[in-house]
């Protein structure tokens, strides 16, 4: 029986860089939310392991052999040697190297499909170990719900009950390399950043309270990414000026930016205006949760 999973976009509503660890990785605090749409991954259990990729952004997705869907499958198989594997069919809609965790979300979708096919609980330790070994963002993508992510992505908070947000995602369709953005921060191993920590989030913030909190927070990679790709600053300026926009910020290491609008009408109006003014940009309205 064919199984299907959504692989939604992961949006870093905030991203605070606390420092660089002795092993070279960066410590972070990030409030992560998800859209309700993104890539689509289908799975045929029992077939030989394979991956077929198509869709609007498939040409930028790299080689099949290096895709995180197959990496996740290998880590899953190592932890569940007798499990059924199979063939995957990925339809790519999310931009690549865009700060939306598309590859990680695809990998998490693959793990959910493998768990369903083999009747493995989503909270199984082996499943989460496979996610962690696949990539830093894969654990948070497993459950597709808002989380506070810390460390290198391996420390996840209980789920805060966030109100749904009217979000607009915009990518100028120019990739930004995460490694190059981190390099702009110029933190040496063992060095703490100068940026400061993340403001506390209550257990059930109102929409107004959440927007106020987000305004007090930051994405510490935004300035660095804008130095590498000034077009990101142009995108943010256009989004900030849209009527009804309450906040505009870059997600992850870029180049995707998001804006949160006061209501659906403002969101739809901004989406139409931006799509018409910049037909070469990727523009997507969504509900963030």
What's the rounded Cα separation, in Å, for the pair 257 and 43?
31
DSSP for 116-158, please give it: HHTT--TT-HHHHHHHHHH-TTHHHHHH-S-EEEEETTTEEPP
CB 84 within 8 Å of CB 118: yes
Retrieve residue 52's tokens.
């077929």
Sort 206 into a burial class: Cβ within 10 Å, 0-12 / 13-18 / 19+.
exposed
The conformation of residue 193, written as its DSSP 8-state character, comes to P
Catalytic residues: 10, 137
């Amino acid at each position: 029986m064919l199984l299907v999973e959504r692989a939604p976009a992961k949006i870093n509503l905030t991203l605070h860089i606390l420092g660089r660890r002795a092993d070279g990785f960066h410590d972070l605090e990030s409030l992560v939310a998800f859209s309700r749409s993104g890539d689509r991954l289908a799975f045929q259990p029992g077939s030989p392991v394979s991956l077929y990729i198509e869709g609007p952004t498939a040409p930028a997705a790299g080689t099949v052999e290096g895709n995180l869907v197959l990496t996740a499958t290998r880590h899953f198989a190592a932890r569940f040697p007798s499990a059924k594997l199979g063939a995957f069919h990925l339809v790519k809609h999310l931009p690549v190297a865009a700060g939306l965790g598309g590859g990680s979300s695809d990998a998490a979708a693959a793990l959910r499909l493998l768990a369903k096919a083999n009747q493995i609980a989503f909270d199984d330790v082996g499943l989460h170990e496979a996610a962690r070994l696949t990539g830093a963002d894969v654990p948070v993508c497993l459950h597709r719900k808002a989380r506070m992510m810390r460390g290198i992505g391996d420390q996840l908070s209980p789920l805060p009950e966030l109100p749904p947000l009217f979000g607009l995602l915009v990518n100028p369709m120019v990739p930004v390399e995460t490694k190059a953005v981190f390099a702009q921060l110029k933190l040496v191993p063992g060095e703490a950043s100068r940026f400061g920590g993340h403001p506390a989030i209550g257990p059930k913030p109102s929409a107004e309270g959440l927007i106020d909190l987000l305004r007090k927070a930051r994405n510490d990679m935004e300035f660095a990414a804008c130095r590498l790709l000034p077009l990101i600053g142009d995108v943010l300026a256009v989004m900030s000026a849209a009527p009804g926009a309450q906040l505009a910020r870059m997600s992850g290491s870029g180049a995707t930016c998001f804006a949160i609008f006061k209501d659906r009408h403002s969101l739809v109006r901004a989406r139409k205006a931006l799509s018409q003014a910049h037909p070469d940009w990727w523009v997507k309205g969504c509900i963030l949760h």
